[in-house]
Structure 1
Amino acid sequence: MDYVEVRVQAPRELSDILVAELAEVGYNTFEDNDEGFCAYIDEDQFSADNVAEIMSRYEGMGSVGYEHRVITRQNWNAEWEKNFQPLVIADQVSVRAPFHEARPELKHEIVIMPRMSFGTGHHDTTALMITNQLHIDHQGKRVLDMGCGTGILAVMAVQLGADYVLAVDVEPWTAENAADNALENNVQDKVEARLGDVTALEGEEPFDLILANINRNVLLEDMGAYAQYLKSGGPILFSGFYEDDLPLIREAAEKAGFQYESHLVQNHWVSAVFRQPA
C-alpha cells in the first residue's frame, strides 16, 4: 500500500493545532519543514473532504495552504536517496546510508536504508529517542521497539548492549525494512522484526525496556498494554508527540502506573522517560 502526503503551509502556532486535528482522523506520521509540516496516511484511509473540513475551521487564523500527493514505494525511495544526508546525533551516533562515508571517530554508527519506512534519524522524535537511549542501561536487556519504522532504535539498542529486541510495526514493508536494516548493521541475530500492533505481543513475557516512538493517539490507546509488558523497575521511552501533549501523555502514563522521570524537547517535539515502579 502507498502513502498520501499532505503538505501544509501554516505558521508554527497553527501547525501544532492542525497536526493534532489530523492525528484525530488517522494521520500517523508528521515531519516539520520550514513552511509548516507534512502529514502522512495510508492511501486507503485518505479523505480529501476530511482535510478540507479541518482546514476550513481555521480560516482567518493565519496564512494556510495545503496540497496532497500519493507517494509510491518507488517514488519514496527515489526521494529519499536524493535528499538523505548523513547526520550525527548527540555527538556520538553517526546515521548514514551505505553510500555515505563511515565516521569511525564516533562511538556508534547506524546504517539505514528506509524503503517506505519512517525513521532515518532526521526527524526530531527519532533523534530525541536515541539521545535518551544513550542514558539508559541496555546491557543484557530484552527490549521492545513499538512502531519500529526502519528499526533504527532497535539497532541502537543492540549497539548499547541489548541481548534481544522485538521490533514491531503495523506496516508490512516496515517490518521487512527493520529486518533488512538489522542485517545491514550485523545485529540480525538479536533483532526480531514482527508485523502487527500491540496485539502481536500476546504471549510475550514482560520486557526490561520499551521504546515507543509512535504518535499521541496510539500511545494513549495502548498505555495499559505497555504497563502489562514492562518489567518492574523497567524504563519506557515515549515519543511521537508535541510538547503541548506531554501533560496528556503524562496523565495517561501515571494512571497506568508509570512514574515520570524526565523529558527532552527539540523543535516542539518530545521524548519522555517513565519507569515501572520497582
Structure 2
Amino acid sequence: MSYISLEVNCHEEFIEIFMAELAEIGFSTFQEKEDGNGLFAYSEENQKIEASQIEELFQQYESLTSVTYELGSVEKENWNADWEKNYQPIEVENKILVRADFHPSNPKFPTEIVVTPKMSFGTGHHETTYQMLNLMHDMDLKGAEVLDAGCGTGILAILAAIKGAGKVEAYDIDEWAVENTNENFLLNSVDSSIYKVWQGEVQTIPQASSYDLILANINKNILLADIQHLQKHIKKTGFLMLSGFYENDNRDILNECENCSLELISQSVRNQWSALLLKNNK
C-alpha cells in the first residue's frame, strides 16, 4: 500500500495551523520537521486528495506567510525507517513517558507507554494527544469500561488499560491504525482478554454498548457530527473526553455538547489546541 506524502516548508508558527487545515481535506498523519521549518503530512491514496485542494488551501495563506510544498508518495514499509530517525521520547508533565521500543526505559516516570506508530496519529508529540494523556492520568479508571473513538496508534486506549480499566475498546476508519493499535497493545503487555479493536466509524459501535469514558481525539468537523452518537453510548454520569480542535472552536463544540446534555467538567489548552472533559447528565 502506498501513501500520499506532502512535504511543507513554512514558518514554525504556521505548522499547527497547516496540520489542522490538511486534516480537514483528508490527511491523517503528521510529522514536524526536525529543524522546525515545516512538516510532513500523509494520507492513504484511497482518500483521493486532489492537487487543486492543496493548492487552494495554501493560496489562502499567501498574504500571511511564505510556504512551499511538494507532493509525493511513500510505501508502507518505508514509514518506520523514516520515523525512527526522527522520533524522540515524549515526557507528559513528569507523569508519563511515551517512547519507542528502541528507547531505554526511565524509572522516574510512574507510567510508560511504548508505541510504534507507523502511519497512525497519536505519539504524544501533538498537543491534543499530550493533553488527553495528561487529563486521563489524573482519572480513576480502575475497572472502567473505555472506548477510544478514532484510536490512531491506540495510545489513549493503552493508557486506559495501564490505569486498570476492565474493558477497553477502540476503533478507527484506517485499517493500518487498527493493525498498529493491536501491535501496540502487545508491546505494552496488555491482557488480550480486556481489549477489542475494529475498523469502522461511529455508527459501528455496537448498539447495546455503553462506557464509563469515551475518548475522541478527532478533528472538529467529525466531532460535531459524532458527539450525538457518542453520547448515546456513555453511561449515566459517565464521561466524554474530546480534543483535536483549537481553543477558538470550543464554543461550537460546547454548544453541541450542551444539546446532548453533556456538562463541561474541566478543560486545558496547549499552544492554542484545546481538550475538554465532559460528564453525561442524560
TM-score past 0.5 threshold: yes
Secondary structure class of the residue paired with 2:53: helix
Match of 1:105 in 2: 108
Q: 1:274 to 1:37 in 2, by over 3 A?
A: farther
Match of 1:35 in 2: 37
User: Which of 32, 56, 59 is matched with 1:53 structurally?
Assistant: 56
Match of 1:217 in 2: 221
Q: 1:54 to 1:240 in 2, by over 3 A?
A: same
Instruction: Give yes or no for contact 1:31–1:123 (8 Å, CA) kept in 2.
Output: no
Q: Which 10-residue stretch deviates more, 192-201 or 56-65?
A: 56-65
1:167 and 1:259 mapped to 2: Cα distance? 24
Secondary structure class of the residue paired with 1:85: coil
Q: 1:47 to 1:251 in 2, by over 3 A?
A: same
1:50 and 1:98 mapped to 2: Cα distance? 37
User: Which of 229, 234, 238 is matched with 1:234 structurally?
Assistant: 238
Instruction: Give yes or no for contact 2:8–2:40 (8 Å, CA) kept in 1.
Output: yes
Q: 1:12 to 1:109 in 2, by over 3 A?
A: closer
Match of 1:6 in 2: 6
Query: C-alpha offsets along residues 194-220 of structure 1, whole Å, 9 cap, x if unaligned?
Result: 111112203342111001112111111
Q: 1:77 to 1:18 in 2, by over 3 A?
A: closer
Instruction: Give yes or no for contact 2:29–2:119 (8 Å, CA) kept in 1.
Output: no
User: Which of 131, 137, 143 is matched with 2:134 structurally?
Assistant: 131
* 1:163 Cα deviation from its structure 2 partner: 0.5
2:250 aligned with 1:270: no
TM-score by structure 1 length? 0.91
* 1:193 Cα deviation from its structure 2 partner: 1.2
1:128 and 1:205 mapped to 2: Cα distance? 26
* 1:30 Cα deviation from its structure 2 partner: 4.6
Count of aligned pairs:
278
Secondary structure class of the residue paired with 1:62: coil
* 1:105 Cα deviation from its structure 2 partner: 2.9
* 1:79 Cα deviation from its structure 2 partner: 1.0
2:275 aligned with 1:254: no
Percent of paired sites with the same residue: 40
Q: Could you tell me which amino acid in structure 2 is paired with residue 236 of structure 1?
A: L
Query: C-alpha offsets along residues 165-203 of structure 1, whole Å, 9 cap, x if unaligned?
Result: 001111112111111111111113322111111122033
Query: C-alpha offsets along residues 206-247 of structure 1, whole Å, 9 cap, x if unaligned?
Result: 111001112111111111111111111111111111222222
Q: 1:38 to 1:265 in 2, by over 3 A?
A: farther
Q: Which 10-residue stretch deviates more, 151-160 or 110-119?
A: 110-119
1:132 and 1:229 mapped to 2: Cα distance? 21
Q: 1:138 to 1:243 in 2, by over 3 A?
A: same
* 1:254 Cα deviation from its structure 2 partner: 1.6
Q: 1:28 to 1:97 in 2, by over 3 A?
A: closer
Query: C-alpha offsets along residues 25-44 of structure 1, whole Å, 9 cap, x if unaligned?
Result: 33344555533444433223
Superposed CA RMSD:
2.1
Instruction: Give yes or no for contact 2:148–2:156 (8 Å, CA) kept in 1.
Output: yes
1:217 and 1:30 mapped to 2: Cα distance? 18
Match of 1:200 in 2: 204
Match of 1:156 in 2: 159
TM-score by structure 2 length? 0.90
Match of 2:72 in 1: 69
2:99 and 2:218 mapped to 1: Cα distance? 22
Q: Could you tell me which amino acid in structure 2 is paired with residue 166 of structure 1?
A: E
1:260 and 1:80 mapped to 2: Cα distance? 37
Q: 1:56 to 1:119 in 2, by over 3 A?
A: same
2:270 and 2:5 mapped to 1: Cα distance? 23
Secondary structure class of the residue paired with 1:270: strand
Q: Could you tell me which amino acid in structure 2 is paired with residue 3 of structure 1?
A: Y
Q: Which 10-residue stretch deviates more, 130-139 or 24-33?
A: 24-33
Q: 1:274 to 1:108 in 2, by over 3 A?
A: same
Query: C-alpha offsets along residues 18-70 of structure 1, whole Å, 9 cap, x if unaligned?
Result: 55544443334455553344443322322111111222233323222222222
